[in-house]
Every structure is written in structure tokens, then in C-alpha cells.
């Protein structure tokens, strides 16, 4: 924007200087500032002579009256002498009206040799014609500069025209276009989008910091167990040493699983990597869930409720199976007796429901349940082998497909619902 105003100021200064120089040249060429000479004609001269004779004889009209009437300044000067030069001048004045027009005054000689001088009065105006010409050129330069600036601003605002999404009321009713209003709305929309991008960047940076802190915290426990088991094994023998080696091996396996799960979540949370979409049968997905292999100590029973008619969703088969599998695994882990998986079409969308009859989830935990590494009961989740990434992976998969995941929980149990778009 500073560069735009600098260009406009330079253009205005250059144009003003050009107009000023051009007005000076025209003024000098046509002599517009020169005062126009005025002369007394012969009749005025004779009338002034008669008035001066009357003034000489009766004192009326006065010299001031004569000056006012003929727009001259009449004064009495020193009378002519008796020398030859003055007598010759007197002879010339008596024979014809005598003037020094180039010097702007006239002489009047009466019979009694009284001599009067009448000087022309020049009136100076505030603006001569040349000054008005300069003012005209400067005004034209200002108008041209304003037009040039408007053209530059309009060119700068052209990329923002496509950003206007909602027409103004006046445009909608009259069909007239207001370029100023369009520019203001485009700038406001651009400012909102820039602010939205800033907020997203800030949120992403905060999420990355939280994720790194969570990863470091999760890695600390198995690493500490592994280090402790190895140190103790060096001081033991026999069965005790074997037990410690086994504990170290379990810690290493847990650490490896944590690394794999973290890398999987990192890949799925990358929205730039588009999924491979294809029509996927809902009944086929439910059949895959029916064959889900639960943990050996699982006591709950898995039930599948199939829809009457098969429909297809638009999804990456591997990812949607992973999302449903995570929900089923999570439900079987905390259910008391039964987990029910069902699917139904509502308003052009497929709703996958995974419901369990477990103890439910407190409202305080429901908002954070989809955050990575977040667990409601950390110690219990450790025992069941969870890392707190399963539901985060589900949400990342939904975000990639434009789908939605939500939960409802109470004393009777918890239900997760996946809302998925149908295939075209």
C-alpha cells in the first residue's frame, strides 16, 4: 500500500510541475499577465479641457470630480516658463491634444498658461488571466492524479472481487453495483479469512506442542520399565533374571506398539494426504465387524444389526474399517455384557451406531475424549493395553472423509455414532 501511494504522489508531482511549466509558457507567449493599456480618446480630451476651463473660471467642477468622471488623476503642475522650449511646447499643446501615451499621462494648457496633467489610473486585479490559466492547469493535474490513483486501487482490488460471497441489499434489490461497497466487503472478507488462517495456524501449533508433550510422557513409562528391568537383571540370576528379562521384553513390545500407533495417527491426521475413495457396501462393513477378534479376556457379546437394504458409502475401505474397528474394540473393552453395532440411512447419510452397556463416561471427559493420548482412567487403560489414540484416529479418519463422529453417554452405557456420506 505504501508503494501505491508513493507512485501516486510521484505521478501527481510530475503532472503538477508539467502543468505549471505549460501555463507559464502560454502566459508568456500570449502576454496574458501584461496590463492592457487604456487611452483617452480625443473627445474625452476636449471634454476634460472644457471642464478645466470651467474649473479655472468658476472653480467647478473640482479636480477630484473631473478625475472621478474620466477615471484619471488630474493635478496642476508648474506652469510653463518663458524660454523658447516651453513656448514651443505651449504652442504644440494649444494646436492639438498632447499626450505621452507611452508613459500614461496627458497635458492640458489653458489660455492663462495654467498647466494640468491627467494620469491614467491602473487597477490591479487579484488574479490576472495568466494566473487563472495556472490555476486551471493545477486543478486538471489534481483531477488526473485522483483518476490515476483510483485506477491503481481498482487494479489492486480486482483479485478480491471473487472473494465477495454475499451481495449487499441494494445490489439484490436494484441490481446496481456499488464498487466502493464491493471493495469494502471484499476487504472485510479477506480480513476475516486471514484471521481464520491465523487462528488455525495458532491452534495447529498448540496441538503439535501438546502432542509432543503427550508423546514424551507416554514414552517415559515403558522406557523406565525397560531400563529398570535391565538394571535389575544384571544383579539377579536364575528365575528372577528370566522374569526381569520377560518384563523388559514386554516393555519393549509396548514401546514398539506405541511407536506404531503414534506413526499411524500422524499419517491419518495429515489432511493433505487424500484417501482413496470408492463405493463401499454397508453390509460388507458390518460383516467385517462381525468377525472382529476381541481380546481373550473379553466377556461382552458382540451383536450386529444389518439394514434391510444394502447401501454404499463413499470411503477408503481400509480407513473406514479401521474407524469402526476402533469403536468396536473400545466398546468391547468397557462393556458389561453386550455391544450392538447397527447402521441406518437418515436424510441421505449413513449412521453407524456402536453402543455398549458399560459404566458410561462423565460429561467432563466427553469433550476431550478425541484428543490424542487422553484416557478417562489412565491406570485402567494401561491394563487393557490402550494408549489413548484409538478415538483420535477415528476422528482423523472422519475428518479426511468429511464425516462426523459423536457420542452420547449415560448410566445405561455409551453410544458412538459415525455419520458418513453416501456414495453418489
| pLDDT surpasses 90 at 351 | yes
Higher per-residue confidence, 278 vs 34: 278
Pick from 422, 398, 356, 118: which is nearest to 268 by CA? 398
Confidence of residue 387 (pLDDT cuts 50, 70, 90): low
Q: pLDDT-derived band of residue 199, with 50, 70 and 90 as boundaries? A: confident
Q: Is 295 helix (H, G, I), strand (E, B) or coil?
A: coil
Q: How confident is the model at residue 95 (pLDDT cuts 50, 70, 90)?
A: very low
Most confident of 29-33, 150-154, 251-255: 150-154
Please state, for a pLDDT cut of 70, what percent of the chain lies above it: 72
pLDDT bin (cut points 50, 70, 90) of residue 201 is: confident
pLDDT reported for residue 385? 47
- Provide mean pLDDT across the span 81-102: 61
Per-residue pLDDT reduced to its tens digit, 305-327: 999 899 999 998 988 998 898 89
Beta strands in 95-207 (DSSP E): 98-100, 105-109, 115-120
| Average pLDDT for 332-361 | 90
Contact between 77 and 114 under an 8 Å Cβ cutoff? The reply is no
Please state which CATH number belongs to domain 275-421. 3.30.565.10
pTM, rounded to two decimals: 0.46
> Cα separation of 318 and 264, whole Å?
13
Domain ranges of the chain: 2-34+126-158, 42-120, 183-267, 275-421
* Residues 140 and 16: beta-carbon distance below 8 Å: no
> Would you place residue 348 in the very low, low, confident or very high pLDDT band (cuts 50, 70, 90)?
confident
pLDDT at 81 over 50: yes
For residue 70, report the phi and psi dihedrals to the nearest 5 degrees: -105, 5
Higher-scoring residue by pLDDT: 300, 127: 300
**395 vs 89: which has the higher pLDDT:** 395
Give strand pairing partners of 407. Answer: 416
pLDDT attached to residue 343: 93
* Cβ-contact 322, 397 below 8 angstroms: yes
Q: How many CB atoms lie within 10 A of CB 190?
A: 15
Check whether 423 has a pLDDT greater than 70.
yes
Residue 279 is predicted with a pLDDT of 92
Q: Under a CB-based contact definition with an 8 Å cutoff, are residues 189 and 197 in contact? A: no
Mean pLDDT of 373-391: 60
Tell me: the pLDDT tens digits for 149-174?
Answer: 888 877 776 665 555 444 544 444 55
pLDDT at 232 over 50: yes
Dihedral over alpha carbons 132, 138, 143, 145 (to 10 degrees): 170
pLDDT at residue 266, rounded to an integer: 64
Domain over 183-267 is classified CATH 3.40.50: no
Check residue 165 and give its pLDDT: 47
Query: How much is the pLDDT for 34?
Result: 56
Mean per-residue pLDDT over the chain, rounded:
77
What confidence score (pLDDT) does residue 160 get? 56
Write out the H or E segment, with its range, that includes residue 419. Answer: strand 413-421
pLDDT(104) > 80: no
Burial of 378 (0-12, 13-18, 19+ CB in 10 A): exposed
Rounded (5°) CA angle 70-74-75: 175
Whether residue 281 is predicted with pLDDT greater than 90 in this model: the reply is yes
Least confident segment among 152-161, 204-213, 278-287: 204-213
The stretch 220-234 carries a mean pLDDT of 72
Residue 96 confidence (pLDDT): 45
Round to whole Å and give the CA distance between 407 and 220: 31
Q: What's the order of all strands across the beta sheet hosting 115-120?
A: 72-77, 115-120, 105-109, 98-100
Q: In whole angstroms, what is the distance from residue 83 CA to residue 345 CA?
A: 135
pLDDT on residue 312:
93
Residue predicted with more confidence, 179 or 41: 41
The pLDDT value recorded for residue 391 is 84
Amino acid at each position: 500500500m505504501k508503494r501505491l501511494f508513493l507512485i501516486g504522489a510521484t505521478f501527481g508531482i510530475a503532472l503538477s510541475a508539467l502543468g505549471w511549466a505549460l501555463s507559464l509558457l502560454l502566459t508568456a507567449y500570449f502576454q496574458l499577465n501584461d496590463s492592457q493599456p487604456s487611452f483617452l480618446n480625443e473627445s474625452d480630451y476636449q471634454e476634460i479641457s472644457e471642464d478645466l476651463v470651467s474649473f479655472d473660471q468658476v472653480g467647478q467642477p473640482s479636480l477630484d470630480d473631473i478625475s472621478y468622471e474620466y477615471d484619471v488623476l488630474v493635478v496642476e503642475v508648474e506652469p510653463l516658463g518663458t524660454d523658447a522650449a516651453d513656448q514651443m511646447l505651449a504652442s504644440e499643446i494649444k494646436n492639438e491634444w498632447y499626450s505621452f501615451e507611452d508613459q500614461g499621462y496627458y497635458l492640458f494648457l489653458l489660455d492663462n498658461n495654467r498647466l494640468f496633467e491627467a494620469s491614467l489610473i491602473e487597477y490591479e486585479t487579484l488574479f490576472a488571466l495568466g494566473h487563472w490559466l495556472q490555476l486551471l492547469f493545477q486543478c486538471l493535474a489534481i483531477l488526473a492524479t485522483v483518476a490515476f490513483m483510483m485506477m491503481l486501487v481498482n487494479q489492486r482490488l480486482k483479485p478480491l472481487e471473487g472473494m465477495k460471497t454475499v451481495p449487499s441489499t441494494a445490489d439484490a434489490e436494484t441490481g446496481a453495483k456499488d464498487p466502493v461497497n464491493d471493495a469494502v466487503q471484499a476487504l472485510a472478507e479477506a480480513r476475516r479469512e486471514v484471521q481464520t488462517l491465523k487462528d488455525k495456524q495458532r491452534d495447529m501449533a498448540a496441538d503439535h506442542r501438546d502432542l509432543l508433550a503427550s508423546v514424551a510422557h507416554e514414552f517415559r513409562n515403558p522406557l523406565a520399565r525397560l531400563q529398570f528391568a535391565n538394571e535389575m537383571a544384571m544383579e539377579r540370576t536364575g528365575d528372577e533374571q528370566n522374569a526381569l528379562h520377560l518384563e523388559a521384553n514386554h516393555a519393549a513390545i509396548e514401546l514398539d506398539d506405541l511407536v506404531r500407533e503414534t506413526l499411524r495417527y500422524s499419517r491419518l491426521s495429515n489432511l493433505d494426504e487424500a484417501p482413496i475413495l470408492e463405493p463401499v457396501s454397508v453390509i460388507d462393513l458390518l460383516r467385517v465387524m462381525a468377525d472382529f477378534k476381541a481380546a481373550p479376556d473379553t466377556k461382552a457379546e458382540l451383536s450386529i444389526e444389518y439394514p434391510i437394504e444394502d447401501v454404499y458409502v463413499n470411503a477408503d475401505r481400509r480407513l473406514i474399517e479401521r474407524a469402526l474397528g476402533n469403536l468396536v474394540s473400545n466398546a468391547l473393552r468397557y462393556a458389561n455384557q453386550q455391544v450392538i453395532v447397527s447402521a441406518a440411512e437418515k436424510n441421505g447419510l449413513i449412521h453407524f451406531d456402536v453402543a455398549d452397556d458399560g459404566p458410561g463416561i462423565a460429561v467432563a471427559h466427553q469433550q476431550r475424549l478425541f484428543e490424542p493420548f487422553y484416557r478417562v482412567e489412565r491406570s485402567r487403560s494401561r491394563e487393557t493395553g490402550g494408549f489413548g489414540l484409538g478415538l483420535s484416529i477415528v476422528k482423523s479418519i472422519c475428518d479426511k472423509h468429511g464425516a462426523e463422529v459423536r457420542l452420547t453417554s449415560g448410566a445405561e452405557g455409551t453410544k458412538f455414532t459415525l455419520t458418513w456420506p453416501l456414495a453418489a
